[in-house]
Amino acid sequence: MSATLQTTETRTMTGAEIVLQALKDNGVEVIFGYPGGAVLPLYDALFQQNAIRHILVRHEQAAVHAAEGYARSTGKVGVVLVTSGPGATNAVTGLVDALMDSIPVICLTGQVPTHLIGNDAFQEADTTGITRPATKHNYLVKDIKKLAGTVHEAFYVAKSGRPGPVVIDLPKDILIGKGPYNEAPQAPHRSYRPQTEPDMTSIRAAVRLLKGARRPIVYAGGGVINAGPEASRLLGDFVRMTGMPCTHTLMGLGAFPSEDPQFLGMLGMHGTYEANLAMHGCDVMLNIGARFDDRVTGRLNAFSPNSKKIHADIDPSSINKNVKVDVAIVGDAGAVLKALIECWQADEQPQDRAAIAEWWRAIDGWRGTGCLQYRQEGSIIKPQHAVKRLYEITREMGRETFITTEVGQHQMWAAQYFGFQKPNRWMTSGGLGTMGYGLPAAMGVQIAHPDALVIDIAGEASILMNIQEMGTLAQYRLPVKVFILNNEYMGMVRQWQELLHGSRYSESYSEALPDFVRLAEAFHARGMRVTEASQLDDAIREMIAHPGPVIADIAVAKDENCFPMIPSGAAHNEMILAPGQEGGVTGVTDEGKVLV
């Protein structure tokens, strides 16, 4: 059959079959979902085929986080299927999470039949209305002739430019009706054609600034991860050939290897002293694929006051949004890095290597503060130590390891003490900060990487927000390890209350916690509890060695705070360090208190 024949050929199928065919044609192998009346035709079609595997979650929010974990660890689009009404509304948190972190996800939602839309029918919700600000784009399919084309377009939209979640709302009559199947069009999209190749004038301007820099820094974010592993490799090449220090946002961890001496650690609110002071003191900053988020910049009018700023982003609306930059580069991070490297090599201007060596001496001085040092003494396990040992032991074992997290102090300790040498190994809810993200995300990662070690570094409060997914782990024999840093507090809330609200611990104590060992066992998993520092290493080894899912409940120091910390509303050079470390400041201003 000739190529033209194939693309013009149409077959008639039911709407449900069209959806599955379109998913298959877009390379989908697995979907995460939960059935209900409005999507029964799709479940019926799923039952009658083998190409697409369906993973039955226990809550629709978890389906979206699982799809996010799948997407982030593979670079593919994650796919979700939920019913109308409550199925769709339950998915909303996941959609906003994917929107904030730029994760490509497609969420198929059931809808009441077209003739009932607007009638307050049973399980009707205005899904496209509700999800409009929760998605990159959404569709309500009212004409079966447009169904196949809409699914193809949704994939294009989800993964092109700045990726994000897309909802396709599917009325039941459309799923049951018959219509034509069209293959994905070859023609470019009518209106959405984001720029991926950078403009060379801005690349040259960037290189000119960078070559002349005396105190440069590379600040890279999730855009580099989203651009694919090749972009991370190019980032490494660029950082090494230029001799510049490199720091990452929470979303960027793994793009540049943490063990490389040019890596300064994470920056921002709980970033390292050296990364934040280098950001503050640099003279030229290259931001690739990060968005000058408030967790990163601190007080805007004090952010890196004396630097020229270059910002490369695939989303023009991210540029000059919070911070005015001197050189704007619109493009895919990989394409930008490739162009920067080529232009750098072609440019004759020498670097001021002496000045840069001087800059490194200053950075090494800040490093000398040892801002992530802690003292593990006695039998009470320090949470930092638990993460550090988890990292060291998995590293010794050499197993391919993926880490997800919940949200809170444990998340920041994971970011600080677990090192990532490769992209796509770290999945955390950065923009939305969704407690309950880590367990379902780990599920999605494990589905994509059945033989890898997948660990959710959790808090005892967060884990309860999607604990029902232990059932999914059991059903599909997913050997996810849940590593709970149990401080008996919503630790991050407690920390803010200690520092900002006179230690009045309002509603932040984790009262009436379950027995996590028996809870694990009730879900057919292995449960472990560790209370003594001396037991920690053996327990970690045992957890990893167990072939099935595990909950390891690690009792850690209850009152430990996460440092360094730039309080909201403070500048990078107004960091609070751990007690006993020198160089920081203390206190939070009144203006800072209104900030989140």
Q: Pick one of 164, 222, 491, 564: the residue that binds Mg ion (CB under 5 A).
A: 491
Residue written as token pair 């919940």: 406
How many residues at the interface with ligand TPP, by CB under 6 A?
Answer: 19
Helix (H) or strand (E) holding 13: strand 11-14
**Interface characters, 446-485, with ligand TPP (x: CB under 6 A):** -------------xxxx----------------------x
60 is annotated as an active-site residue: yes
238 is annotated as an active-site residue: no
- Per partner kind, with CB cut-offs from 5 to 8 A, the member of ligand TPP, other proteins, Mg ion, none near residue 435 is ligand TPP
Question: Among residues 53 and 324, whose Cβ is nearest to other proteins?
Answer: 324
Q: What is the C-alpha separation between 275 and 282, in angstroms, rounded?
A: 10
Q: How far is CA 578 from CA 262, 289, 392, 492, 586, in A?
A: 24, 30, 23, 15, 10
* Under rule CB under 8 A, residue 322 binds other proteins: yes
CB under 6 A: which stretch of 58-66, 228-236, 402-410, 446-454 binds ligand TPP? Answer: 402-410
Q: Name the minimum Å distance from CB 251 to other proteins.
A: 19
Cβ-count burial 533-572 (b if 16+ within 10 Å, e if not):
bebbeebbeebbeeeebbbbbbbbbeebbbbbbbbbbbbb
Question: Among residues 53 and 132, whose Cβ is nearest to other proteins?
Answer: 132
- Per partner kind, with CB cut-offs from 5 to 8 A, the member of ligand TPP, Mg ion, other proteins, none near residue 462 is ligand TPP
* Under rule CB under 6 A, residue 492 binds ligand TPP: yes
For residue 556, give every residue at least 6 positions away whose Cβ sits within 8 Å of its Cβ, in sequence order, or none: 380, 381, 382, 383, 386, 485, 486, 487
Q: Name the minimum Å distance from CB 188 to ligand TPP.
A: 39
Cβ-count burial 133-163 (b if 16+ within 10 Å, e if not):
ebbbbbbbbeebeebbbbbbbbbbbbbbbbb
Cα diameter, the chain = 75
* Under rule CB under 8 A, residue 157 binds other proteins: yes
Q: Are 296 and 572 in contact (CB under 8 A)?
A: no
Question: Among residues 101 and 456, whose Cβ is nearest to other proteins?
Answer: 101
Q: Pick one of 58, 136, 382, 410: the residue that binds ligand TPP (CB under 6 A).
A: 410
* Under rule CB under 5 A, residue 487 binds Mg ion: yes
Helix (H) or strand (E) holding 553: strand 550-555
* Catalytic residue, candidates 76, 136, 159, 172: 172
For residue 518, give every residue at least 6 positions away whose Cβ sits within 8 Å of its Cβ, in sequence order, or none: 527
CB under 5 A: which stretch of 24-32, 117-125, 396-404, 458-466 binds Mg ion? Answer: 458-466
How many residues at the interface with other proteins, by CB under 8 A?
Answer: 27
Question: Among residues 332 and 456, whose Cβ is nearest to other proteins?
Answer: 332
Q: Pick one of 409, 428, 466, 573: the residue that binds ligand TPP (CB under 6 A).
A: 409
172 is annotated as an active-site residue: yes
Chain Cα centroid distance, residue 29? 22
CA angle 538, 543, 547 (to 5 degrees): 135
Q: Are 179 and 147 in contact (CB under 8 A)?
A: yes
Q: Any bridge partners for residue 219, and if so which? A: 247, 287
Q: Name the minimum Å distance from CB 565 to Mg ion.
A: 17
CA angle 578, 501, 564 (to 5 degrees): 20
Per CB under 6 A, which of residues 319..338 are in contact with ligand TPP? none
* Token code pair at residue 574: 């107004």
CA angle 279, 281, 284 (to 5 degrees): 70
Question: Among residues 154 and 453, whose Cβ is nearest to other proteins?
Answer: 154
Q: Pick one of 136, 270, 388, 449: the residue that binds other proteins (CB under 8 A).
A: 136
* Token code pair at residue 380: 């009470």
* Catalytic residue, candidates 17, 60, 469, 574: 60
Question: Among residues 209 and 490, whose Cβ is nearest to ligand TPP?
Answer: 490
Show which residues are catalytic. Answer: 60, 122-123, 172, 492
Residues that bind other proteins (CB under 8 A): 128-129, 132-133, 136-137, 140, 157, 161-162, 190-192, 194, 300-301, 315-317, 319-326
Residues that bind ligand TPP (CB under 6 A): 406-410, 433-435, 459-462, 485, 487, 489-493
